[in-house]
Amino acid sequence: MLEFKGRVAIVTGASSGIGRTSAVFYAREGAKVVVSDINKDGGQETVRLIQEAGGEAFFVKTDVAIPADCENLVNRTVEKYGRLDYACNNAGIGGEQNLTAEYSIEGWQKVIAVNLSGVFYCMKFEIPEMLKAGGGAIVNMASILGKVGFAGAPAYVAAKHGVVGLTRDTAIEYAARGIRVNSIGPAFISTPLIAAIEGNEEANNGLLALHPMGRLGKPEEVAELVIWLSSSRASFITGAYYSVDGGYLAR
């Protein structure tokens, strides 16, 4: 039996990597999926993959750093499918690599706008529709860097720590109203976001050494947790942070 049949999910940053795989997995479980990204071609390819597998999906171009775009995403979802049950707020960027005193103001503002404010904007508009539907589940994509530091990435680290805190606060606020909110902390996952690093043998070997399992993660390994946290199997879990990190945080 498909648990999510008749339900509706939004996935942001779904043109590739973790977002695309999560969108495909939601559809695999029977959900109608709204695919969102700034990358139209990649997002439409995700829709195609879902439809070819027999699922239902459509694409809404969204820049999560723009509140009106996030509102439009939710409005389009409800106009099309009549409800919203699940959201995976996954959209994010890596940003520049620089020490704090050398980090550009523009670079800081951009990373915070996408990686932290974007999660807030999405939840601001998602939650009212979930309340109308009688409840729901939100999964916010944080990072292992939502728990620890990483020299040269002050904006990313600050934003992801913020996502973890925002998730906990929102979970408390809506726990009694049927909405569960959790966050996931992937380590370095083999996605287009780190493709350039993987192409550099020395840098890639350095990344591998940070993970006790000796490899990078796969998008599927993160998406499986997204689906589980959205499902009734996680019905008593809210405000939690789960790492998917090959032992990174255990060091």
CA distances from 199 to 135, 205, 211 (A): 43, 10, 18
* Nearest to 149, CA basis, from 198, 99, 109: 99
- Residue 88 β-bridge partners: 11, 139
* Nearest to 64, CA basis, from 137, 8, 125: 125
Measure the CA–CA gap between 10 and 23, rounded to whole angstroms. Answer: 8
Query: Is residue 103 among the annotated active site residues?
Result: no
- Residue 183 β-bridge partners: 140, 241
Measure the CA–CA gap between 33 and 25, rounded to whole angstroms. Answer: 10
* Residue 196 near residue 155, CB atoms below 8 Å: no
Of 156, 174, 242, 248, catalytic? 156
Measure the CA–CA gap between 130 and 110, rounded to whole angstroms. Answer: 28
Active-site positions read 156
